């Protein structure tokens, strides 16, 4: 068994030794410094200066002959004794549930012989790209409802993330309306109540709570005790003309306190009796 050390892939191959003669004081001696490796090309990659491991020895690739059909003929020079690596990969989560269009960033801790590796080289693969895709940075994107697995490969050590993709919830249809007990023109000393209604998917939401603000004119009129604007209940506002005898107008803005949506921006006019 030959180990392609660029990704620690084990492959079947043929090994042949190149014998060289060394002249010494003891005469001519035979030595084996280089080896020929015959490796299938299918699914494998070999480049110059890559390393090959065989029989406990690391060999540096010196030359590659790719002229033979479906085979690499590789010459390697002995480099060092092989120090085997124990690789580990642990994902921060092994199962996630997303909605269609949702994303999830895979986070992995990798170790080489017990030491945490900074910026490890990882490869990712989705078992079904119609359900979920993943890019080369580990970002998962939910495509449609279903289940699939994402495999994360670190030096041929595999970790798996199981995914469930659910349908994206349909946003509710929210609408607002308002009514007034006395129109929009309020007589002196008479009070008028504005009532606001919120519906969600055509169902009245009785929890509506409103907030209101006044423009500069309205604020001045309130501060001078010329008019009164107060919230009577969660969804009602009372406007009263206290002392004004000439027509005055101000702007009343009302919002839904739950989400900040502006329900209405009204021009309120006061007039004398």
Residue 28 has pLDDT above 50, yes or no: no
The chain-wide mean pLDDT, for the chain, equals 86
Contacts of 26 (CB under 8 A, 6+ apart): none
Task: Give the mean pLDDT of 119-144.
Answer: 97
Residue 56 has pLDDT above 70, yes or no: yes
Asked if residue 40 lies in contact with residue 58, where contact means CB atoms within 8 angstroms, the answer is: no
Residue 40 has pLDDT above 80, yes or no: yes
* β-pair partners for 161: 150
Q: Which of 67-76, 88-97, 208-217, 233-242 has the lowest mean pLDDT?
A: 67-76
Upper half-sphere CA count for residue 34 (Cβ side, 13 Å): 13
What percent of the chain stands above pLDDT 70? 85
Q: Which of 134-143, 173-182, 261-270 has the lowest mean pLDDT?
A: 173-182
d(CA 107, CA 139): 9
Question: How much is the pLDDT for 259?
Answer: 94
Task: Give the mean pLDDT of 114-142.
Answer: 97
d(CA 143, CA 131): 5
pLDDT band at 2 (very low <50, low <70, confident <90, very high): low
CA distances from 98 to 31, 69, 92, 103 (A): 61, 47, 16, 7
Q: Give pLDDT tens digits for 46-55.
A: 888 888 887 8
For residue 43, give the nearest of 68, 70, 20, 78 by alpha carbon. Answer: 70
Question: How much is the pLDDT for 225?
Answer: 92
Q: Give pLDDT tens digits for 196-205.
A: 999 999 999 9
pLDDT band at 185 (very low <50, low <70, confident <90, very high): low
pLDDT band at 1 (very low <50, low <70, confident <90, very high): low
* β-pair partners for 96: 163
What 3-state class would DSSP assign to 256?
strand
Residue 82: CB atoms within 10 Å? 17
Contacts of 266 (CB under 8 A, 6+ apart): 184, 194, 251, 252, 253, 254
Question: How much is the pLDDT for 8?
Answer: 62
Element (H, E) at 13: none
Q: Rounded to two decimals, what is the model's pTM?
A: 0.49
Q: Give one word for 156, left, alpha or beta, with left for phi > 0 and alpha for psi -120 to 50.
A: left
**Between 246 and 17, the higher pLDDT residue:** 246
Asked if residue 87 lies in contact with residue 110, where contact means CB atoms within 8 angstroms, the answer is: yes
Sign of the dihedral defined by the CA atoms of residues 22, 24, 28, 32, in that order: negative
Task: Give the mean pLDDT of 191-215.
Answer: 93
Residue 104: CB atoms within 10 Å? 19
């Amino acid at each position: 068994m030959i180990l392609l050390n660029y990704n620690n892939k084990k492959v079947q191959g043929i090994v042949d030794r190149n014998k060289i003669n060394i002249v010494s004081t003891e005469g001519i001696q035979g030595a084996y410094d280089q080896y020929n490796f015959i490796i299938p090309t299918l699914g494998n990659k070999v480049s110059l200066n890559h390393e090959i491991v065989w029989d406990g020895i690391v060999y540096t690739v010196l030359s590659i002959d790719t002229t033979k059909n479906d085979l690499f003929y590789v010459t390697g020079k002995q480099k060092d004794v092989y120090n085997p690596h124990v690789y580990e990969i642990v994902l921060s989560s092994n199962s996630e549930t997303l909605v269609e269009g949702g994303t999830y960033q895979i986070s992995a801790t990798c170790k080489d012989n017990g030491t945490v590796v900074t910026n490890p080289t990882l490869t990712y693969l989705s078992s079904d790209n119609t359900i979920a895709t993943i890019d080369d940075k580990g970002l998962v994107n939910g495509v449609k409802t279903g289940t699939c697995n994402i495999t994360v490969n670190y030096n041929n050590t595999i970790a798996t993330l199981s995914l469930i993709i659910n349908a994206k919830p349909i946003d509710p249809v929210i609408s607002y309306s308002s009514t007034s007990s006395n129109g929009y023109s309020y007589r002196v000393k008479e009070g008028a109540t504005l009532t606001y209604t919120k519906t969600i998917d055509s169902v009245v939401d009785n929890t509506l709570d409103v907030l209101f603000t006044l423009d500069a004119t309205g604020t001045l009129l309130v501060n001078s005790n010329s008019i009164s604007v107060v919230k009577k209940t969660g969804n009602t506002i009372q406007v009263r003309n206290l002392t004004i005898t000439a027509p005055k107008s101000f702007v009343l803005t009302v919002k839904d306190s739950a989400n900040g949506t502006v329900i209405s921006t009204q021009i309120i006019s006061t007039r004398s009796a």
